[in-house]
Amino acid sequence: MDEKDAIAMLGALSQEMRLRIIRYLIGRGDDGASAGEIAEAMDAISSKASFHLSALERAGLITSERQSRKIIYRVSFLGLGGLLSFILNDCCSNHPDIREHCGLPNFEC
Amino acid sequence: MDEKDAIAMLGALSQEMRLRIIRYLIGRGDDGASAGEIAEAMDAISSKASFHLSALERAGLITSERQSRKIIYRVSFLGLGGLLSFILNDCCSNHPDIREHCGLPNFEC
DNA sequence: TCAACATTTCAAGAGAGGTTGAAATATGGA
DNA sequence: TCCATATTTCAACCTCTCTTGAAATGTTGA
């Protein structure tokens, strides 16, 4: 996870429908959801949902797996965790007391 | 910190120079840095730096304070912490074991 | 008040990103 | 093979963002 990856992930998350998709997929857990289910849940036409799903996948925030006719999307905990670590470490490595300002519990960075 | 605020912050961070400015200002700590120092550190013309500084300030990620002729910018630990909390809580509230996937130490969400 | 300094604002142009409907691709079952 | 289903790709259009140089604003000291 370098700076370029982080910028791509931040950009992918900074869009209303994409953030809603991430939240929806987190709620679905390991089951994930098909592109059609996601489009319906977002109240969006298929091409719009597909556009945003591919943006999220390109950024490494979700994964896809074909199951017969459907394509199942799942949130990538690895990707999301990597982004959080990037921000936290960029934060904490330079300034040890930032954690406190962040309202986050104490832990080693 | 609602969804709109988070999207604005994520969008503000998802740009190379703005992310570099944040990292630079974190390194400067409470002293902060003037617009001119930041522009020089970023190797950017003043209007370009000013454009990105105002984007970061609008998003709540940095603060500004005039000191005679100069304007001192500082990273907003409150803002940055709020964004982290938003992502973490959105994450953890729905799915308690995501922390583990994130590679983050254990703590209460 | 005037000049130098520090920074922002503005307008214009280039480029990236988002939305839409239609067409294309892929899959499974009759 | 043919049809229905599921999803993506494409092109067109619009909007938003970024960059640049020039002009405007605010501040200090002579």
Model confidence pLDDT, tens digit, residues B15-67: 999 999 999 999 999 999 999 999 999 999 999 999 999 999 999 999 999 99
Distance from CA of A67 to the nearest CA of B (A): 24
The pLDDT value recorded for residue B103 is: 60
Residues A47-78: tens digit of each pLDDT: 999 999 999 999 999 999 999 999 999 999 99
The pLDDT value recorded for residue A100 is: 67
Distance from CA of A66 to the nearest CA of B (A): 23
Chain B contact set for A16 (CB, 8 A): 3, 7
Task: For residue A12, tell me if it sits in a domain.
Answer: yes
Instruction: Please provide the DSSP assignment of B90-107 as one string.
Output: HHHHH-TTHHHHHTPPP-
**What is the token pair recorded at A15?**
């869009």
Task: For residue B103, tell me if it sits in a domain.
Answer: no
Contacts of residue B67, Cβ cutoff 8 Å, sequence gap at least 6: B34
Chain D positions within 7 A of any protein Cβ atom are 5-10, 17-23, 26-28
Number of cross-chain residue pairs from A and B with Cβ atoms under 8 Å apart: 114
Which of B43 and B92 is assigned the larger pLDDT? Answer: B43
The pLDDT value recorded for residue B61 is: 97
Task: For residue B108, tell me if it sits in a domain.
Answer: no
User: Cα angle at B34 between B28 and B40, to 5 degrees?
Assistant: 90
Task: For residue B107, tell me if it sits in a domain.
Answer: no
Percent pLDDT > 70 in chain A is 83
Task: For residue B10, tell me if it sits in a domain.
Answer: yes
Which of B106 and A36 is assigned the larger pLDDT? Answer: A36
Count of the separate structural domains present in chain B: 1
Task: For residue B7, tell me if it sits in a domain.
Answer: yes
Distance CA A70, CA A65 (A): 9
Backbone angles phi, psi at A75, to 5 degrees: -70, 140
What average pLDDT does the segment B77-98 reach?
79
Mutate to test the interface with B, among A10, A56, A107 (most CBs of B within 10 A): A10
The pLDDT value recorded for residue A88 is: 86
Backbone angles phi, psi at B73, to 5 degrees: -105, 140
Task: For residue A109, tell me if it sits in a domain.
Answer: no
Q: Which domain holds residue A14?
A: 3-100
Task: For residue A31, tell me if it sits in a domain.
Answer: yes
What's the Å distance between residue A32 CA and nucleotide D13 C1'?
Answer: 34
